Amino acid sequence: MSLVIAQSLSRRGVEVIGCDDVDMTVMSFSRYVDNTFTHPKIEDDEKGYFDTLLEKVIELKPEDDRPYILMPVFRNTRAISKRRDIFSDHITVAAPDWESICKIFPKENLAKTAKTTNANIPKSTHTEDEDELKRELEKFRAPLMLKPVAGVGGKGIEEVKDASAAIKAHQAFLGKHGEAPLIQEKVEGEDYCFTGLFSDGELLAHMAYRNLQSFPVKTGAGAIRETVDDAPFIEAATKLMKPTGWTGVAEIDFMWTG
């Protein structure tokens, strides 16, 4: 993702500086990247991560008044958004506000937000209490999907045939990971992805695509995609994102049977 962003910005005359917690990444070898540096891994040394990032932000700041942007990509976006105040005197952080992120992450928060907007999402539940789970699942239609609340890319998703199997899988997941999974009804249809650019929850630009091929095949991201008409998804996406006050890019998956 970082490399694609670097290519797009560099072609438009923007100076690009990349950073990562490992050396010799694709950014290190790209002709679209002007400079790179490494920082500590945030999971191992959070203070060192932010200290190094702030030090480099100050060191590399341009002397003129051109826009200076810190654009986090992937998992560190949440951490940087939460502590954006330490960068505010030196650089603009291109990430949604922490309050907006908390309305969609972890996944059970997205389910709660969607419920308040009457968005058409799979019936969902999230609880650590087995008795409460049993009562909830009486209202669900099988088969059911169990999803890690912080997982991405299809990792850790499990399909079960009925409520009894869901309860067993729920307890096993809770014992292994120390947190409950999100449980949802399985919905049929073809997978489409709607991508929108939002400002304070208002949709500014948008498109949609469907995956022709994914990698890994069953749970991975799209490797070959086809752009499609996004008109069927605009109303639902707008309704869902409005209360979040989201500023930035959002990708929303739809299962389409139309």
**Cα gap 157→146, rounded to integer Å:** 6
Question: What confidence tier does 18 reach under pLDDT thresholds 50, 70, 90?
Answer: very high
Domain boundary among 139, 160, 185: 185
pLDDT (0 to 100) of residue 221: 77
Asked whether 240 and 117 are in contact (CB, 8 A), the reply is yes
**pLDDT tens, position by position, 24-35:** 999 999 999 999
Which residue range forms the structural domain that includes residue 62?
A: 2-96
pLDDT (0 to 100) of residue 217: 79
Specify whether 53 is located in the same domain as 144: no
- Give the domain CATH number at 158: 3.30.1490.20
Query: How many structural domains does the chain have?
Result: 3
pTM (predicted TM-score): 0.89
Specify whether 253 is located in the same domain as 211: yes
Structure tokens at 216: 């890994």
* Res 143 pLDDT > 80: yes
Q: Which helix (H) or strand (E) holds 83?
A: none
Question: What confidence tier does 37 reach under pLDDT thresholds 50, 70, 90?
Answer: very high
Specify whether 103 is located in the same domain as 211: yes
Tell me which DSSP letter residue 217 carries.
T
Specify whether 31 is located in the same domain as 114: no
pLDDT (0 to 100) of residue 197: 98
Q: What is the mean pLDDT of residues 81-88?
A: 97
Specify whether 181 is located in the same domain as 199: no
**pLDDT tens, position by position, 221-241:** 788 999 999 999 999 999 999
Question: What confidence tier does 258 reach under pLDDT thresholds 50, 70, 90?
Answer: confident
Summary mean pLDDT of the chain: 95
Q: What is the mean pLDDT of residues 5-25?
A: 96
